[in-house]
Structure 1
Amino acid sequence: MNGFMGRSWAWARIGVLALLWGSTFLWIELALEALTPVQATCGRCVLGAATLLAACLGTGRKLPRDRAVWGRIAVAAFFCNALPFAMFSIGQQSIDSGGAGVLNATTPLWSLLIGVITGAERSLRPSRLGGLLLGFAGVVLIFAPWRAAEPGGWGALAVVVAAAGYAVGFTFMSHFLVGRGIPTLSLSAAQLVAATALTVPTLPAGGLRPVDIGPGTLTAVVILGVVATGVTFHLTYRNIAAEGATNTATVGYLLPVVSVALGVVVLDEDFGLRSAIGMAVVLAGVGLTRRQGRAPAPVREETAGDRAVHGGLPRHGLSRHGLSRQERDVRQ
């Protein structure tokens, strides 16, 4: 029963994350009506960091103090926040919000590719290799390099770079930050603080222009920073701690549906046949990469002798209370 409830909560988190994350592209599009890409990037980092710092203050959580941890947080903040946030803002100057959401769905493909390169994916089954190739073929179809005259080409490339940045960031966070006894709220707040420190120095590059912003656009900017950045990023961190980087990246299955639907309904965007086919090809490729192989052999139940060897504690990193270190971090 506990396992079923745990999986239900995991899927609920993924669903909420997909809705919030998928709406991000809409809010970026609206924010860019009054802000430059640099201003939009800095603004969402500042508001997101302020939101999570307030949550830390309200719950009694403290930011990490170890300098080595902050060094790792800075690396994660670059790949998972500063770089992709800037690339999305730049890319959406020339491509619509629905297209950005579709291209962001390539994040699981980049995660798999990183796993192959780093050796984390020790065996790449033919189906997963085929999915990887098929997914990137879909990206090429959306990117349409043969139509170089179209201004959206460079925008699409920027969004693909953002998706790859997410994949690197998720993998780094999974390996070097989560599961180390630091609450995920503290980590997510610290990372957005670091992202703010990385993006503010870029303001002279187009971010010092006077802003003439109306109530509607201001609302979009606040939602982008508080909800689509602060809340969404914390949910992402929790999901990485509970489900791992690769499973978290699979939220990309649902992102295109949300982003395209919002773009068409709210912004009256045109979703062409080539983009629709490209999205289908990308998602089919992602689906193939997520196919499971044979079920692993059942784990032998531990005996009293086994527990004696392990000091009376069960294996698999469980504490005496039956919770793994990562699960304890998530509950914090």
Structure 2
Amino acid sequence: MTARGWLLFSLMGVVWGIPYLMIKVAVDEVSPSMVVFARCAVGALLLLPLAIRQGGLLDTLRAHWRPMLAFACIEIMGPWFTLTDAERHLSSSTAGLLIAGVPIVGVVAARYFGGEREHLGARRIAGLLIGLAGVGVLTVPHLTGGDARSLGEVLLTVIGYATAPLIAARRLKDVPTLQLIAPCLTLTALVYAPAAAVTWPAALPSTNALLSLLALGVLCTAVAFVAFLELIKEIGPTRSTVITYVNPAVAVAAGALFLDESFTPTIAASFALILTGSVLATMASASKGAPDPVLGRSGGRSTRQRLRRGPDPRPERDEAGAR
């Protein structure tokens, strides 16, 4: 990976690992609806002008409004509210670790609902079971403490985060990222504006809460989406998803450092189980003729073989397409 790739990877590991901390700080003083509205409004204000500048935004909306609406509901409108509401009762560390189960749910969703027909195999099934065991270690102690609703909300968030990419991959793959994200953020801000107005705090929130809302909109939404797009261009979509394994570690560390959240043996055990299970469950099975994740080939002689054997003696096609 290039230096630019490592820089983008490190940036994404942080900016998508700290939202749980920011949400926890903000939701202590403002309503979940207000948090979602502020985050989306700030992100939309930054990204919508860039999307308009690309040109063709109205044509994109006319051609893809149905899957874009579904994506907005499943990826942003629902999950961002349920996650924020859950953090009124759960620690940011717990929320971050539970969200780490997204790749596990994503494997199952892709297998049975996304048209993915790859055989899971013993390794991936073992990963699913290990990851579920980690979720169980983390959640069972909460079930008798009145947090069952919050855990259910995080589960809904996980399902949304895991299934929305299926819509993007099958129905929105030709839509530029900015022209997908900016309208979705704008729509979500408009939907939550009435609830945010009704629950507007009587007193001005603290500086920490306001800075958290600003950071959620600027860093964790606008900058994060743009950086993730550049990361995909730099290292490819497969390797870029490895940030999913870094974000929970950042969430746990941030909660312990800034909110004095305890790092217990239970959290450590669940952390290890969930991440191990996620890695095993999402690890692609090697198959003959499968695309090379680094060289981008499929079948035939590899790039390394061609380099060793020298250039292909056959002439290249000319401008007319003849050999």
Structure-1-length-normalised TM-score: 0.79
* Paired amino acid for 1:177: L
Q: Work out the CA distance in 2 between the residues paired with 1:312 and 1:156.
A: 60
User: What does 1:86-165 correspond to in 2, within 5 Å?
Assistant: 86-118=81-113, 119-144=115-140, 147-165=142-160
What is aligned with 1:49? Answer: 44
What is aligned with 2:295? Answer: none
1:122 to 1:226, Cα distance in 2 relative to 1, 3 A: same
User: SS where residue 143 of structure 2 aligns?
Assistant: coil
Please list every run of 5 or more consecutive structure 2 residues that lacks an aligned counterpart in the other structure.
Answer: 290-297, 307-311
Where does structure 1 differ by over 6 angstroms across 4 or more consecutive aligned residues?
302-305
What is aligned with 1:221? Answer: 213
Q: Shift of the alpha carbon at 1:272?
A: 1.9
* C-alpha contact (below 8 Å) 2:35/2:84 kept by paired residues: yes
* C-alpha contact (below 8 Å) 2:34/2:192 kept by paired residues: no
Percent of aligned pairs with the same amino acid: 24
Q: Shift of the alpha carbon at 1:293?
A: 2.6
2:77 is the counterpart of 1:74: no
Deviation by residue 1:76-99 (Cα, 9 ceiling, x = unmatched): 111111111101111100111111
Deviation by residue 1:214-246 (Cα, 9 ceiling, x = unmatched): 2222111111111112221333455567744x7
1:281 to 1:142, Cα distance in 2 relative to 1, 3 A: same
* C-alpha contact (below 8 Å) 1:106/1:163 kept by paired residues: yes
RMSD of equivalent CA atoms: 2.9
* C-alpha contact (below 8 Å) 1:111/1:249 kept by paired residues: no
User: What does 1:129-278 correspond to in 2, within 5 Å?
Assistant: 129-144=125-140, 147-178=142-173, 180=174, 182-203=175-196, 207-237=199-229, 243-244=236-237, 249-278=241-270
What is aligned with 1:300? Answer: 300
* C-alpha contact (below 8 Å) 1:52/1:231 kept by paired residues: no
Deviation by residue 1:238-286 (Cα, 9 ceiling, x = unmatched): 5567744x76554221111100101101111112221221111111101
Q: Work out the CA distance in 2 between the residues paired with 1:114 and 1:234.
A: 26
* C-alpha contact (below 8 Å) 1:74/1:195 kept by paired residues: no
2:58 is the counterpart of 1:65: yes
* C-alpha contact (below 8 Å) 2:30/2:200 kept by paired residues: no
Structure-2-length-normalised TM-score: 0.81
Please list every run of 5 or more consecutive structure 1 residues that lacks an aligned counterpart in the other structure.
Answer: 314-332
